[in-house]
Structure 1
Amino acid sequence: MSASQEYFEEKEKIDFLFYRGFRVTRVTENLDGAAVEFERTGAAGQEKEVLHLQTADARKYFSSILFHQQRNLTPAE
């Protein structure tokens, strides 16, 4: 599988979780990539998903989304 195809698959998984209302709760980076934990609280209780991102482009994409998520959580001054 090409690197670009791997990136698009990981990007799709990230987008899908955000679309379903998940928020990032923890990121663990290592030499093999990044393990990103997502959580959401819904009618069925608390749900948790973990994605292992291996491509550098997916980690960069995720980082930009995380930055915007944190920015939206900050109270307006």
Structure 2
Amino acid sequence: MSEYQEYRLEREQIDFLLERGYRITRVSENLSGAFLDFELIEGTKQEWKQLNIKTPEGRKYFSTLLFRKLN
């Protein structure tokens, strides 16, 4: 898979979770990429998901989303 295709897949996964109501609760970065922890709270039900973002473009994408949310 090309790096662009990998980035598109990462972006689609992030967007899918955010559209479903998940929110990013933790970012853990290392030399291999970043791990994003997502949490969904619906009433008394809680769900967690984790994505491993490996591409530089994917890391830029979620960083941009976080900065937009802060402003």
TM-score bracket, normalised by the shorter chain, equals over 0.9
What's 2:18 paired with? 18
Cα separation, 2, equivalents of 1:5 and 1:50: 20
Aligned residues: 71
TM-score normalised by length of structure 2: 0.93
Matched, 1:57 2:57: yes
TM-score normalised by length of structure 1: 0.86
User: Offset of 1:43 from its aligned partner?
Assistant: 4.5
- Taking the TM superposition and a 5 Å limit, the aligned residue runs for 1:1-77 are 1-43=1-43, 45-71=45-71
Q: Please, which runs of 5 or more residues in structure 2 have no aligned partner? A: none
Cα separation, 2, equivalents of 1:24 and 1:10: 14
Cα separation, 2, equivalents of 1:53 and 1:7: 8
Cα separation, 2, equivalents of 1:39 and 1:70: 18
Larger radius of gyration: 1
Identity of aligned residues (%): 49
CA RMSD of aligned residues (A): 1.1
